[in-house]
Amino acid sequence: MKIKNIRMIDPANRTDAVKDICILDGIIVSEEEYDKYETSHPDESIDGTGLIAGPGLVDVHVHFRDPGQTYKEDIHTGALCAAAGGFTSVVMMANTIPALDDPDVVKDALRRASEEDIRIYTCANVTKGMKGGELCDYRSLLDAGAIGFTDDGKPIMDAGLLFRAFDEIAGLGLPVSLHEEDPAYISENGVNSGAAAAALGLKGSDRQAEISMIERDLNIAAKSGVKLNIQHISTAEGVDLIRRAKRTNPNIHAEATPHHFTLTDKAVEEFGTLAKMNPPLRSADDREAIWEGLADGTIDIIATDHAPHSSEEKSQGFKTAPSGIIGLETAFLLAYSVLIKREILDYNKLFELMSLNPARLYGLNAGSLSVGAPADIVIFSPDEVTDYSSSRSKSCNSPFLGRQLEGKIRYTICGGKIVYSAEDHLDD
């Protein structure tokens, strides 16, 4: 395949230039090598005029609900959502039923994931059953194929236990990703304490829930040498804590989600439970602090926290409805409209945050369009719009459904194979 006359963005080499991208046997090759092959074989070509190509997106925070809650999502439908959003690699979280605390469960999930058209990896649990009381056998989970550890969705409250976990995992060289919310500061989860909560007759989630846990865990991490990823930051104070920690600890990483850099807590009044998430949407000042953190490198990863829930579950009252939204199909489009068009980031920085950095954190062979790299590529049209009228997910819990979003994913290519084409789907 040859992608002709396309604006190529490669954050690994700081490239931003109009080029041809040549692919042989799933690998990016030089034009000279490609031309030798082309003399005897017809090629498939894509006209990239007016389009942008970047390395396939990498999402290190997805929930595919498989095993255990496949009425919400499964590995196959999750993979379809990822491909439609430009993602060629994703890392599944471990809060499944049963939890991914057993090597056989990890192996089974990865076996089924290997049948999909994109690259799917998984984390395993930090504690048995995500109960925060007993450490898992990390070596056996690594041997089963896990590439990191998390109890995402549940904070680990025992500081001594967490230090022991960090110490063991640091020796394996794998990252730990943590959900940082102390339940002591939460009356009702999913909504920011203050005006947003008061409008619902609730007290909500105080920002100190996140701040206190981030502060504690940065201190523990500094003593262990573990690679620590703070998930879905929502507060200005959290961003500042990360910024200061990074000055002395290069093993600290942090995520921001598209919903936290796009929306504020006012969205809860408009969208109800479709804007309920943990940690909750915060104020406009918090959103601006996240923008600043993305721009200056404090926050080095954009991750979706793709969290499917059924319509019946989200139709419950605010107190009882589960938290979370789907996000794989909209992440890059929201990043384009909020971060690129407002000139908060340039394209190289955006692909660094959505491809190169997450790949580096987990040691994945992704995030680059260099010769010799896997041909994992997203092709994007900045001048079109996407009618986001339906989702490939089994769930539809998104405040962005029914909207027109700026930009369009035209193709997603994984290993040299077109795994998504807008021409085949026409916003279905």
Q: Which residues are catalytic?
A: 305
The residue whose two tokens read 């990360």 is 242
CA–CA separation, 254 and 175 (whole Å): 12
CA 99, 101, 107, 109: dihedral to nearest 10 degrees? 20
Buried b (16+ CB within 10 A) or exposed e, 5-23: ebbbbbbbeeebeebebbb
The CA-to-CA distance between both ends of the chain, in Å, stands at 26
Q: Look up residue 342 and give its two tokens.
A: 């407002």
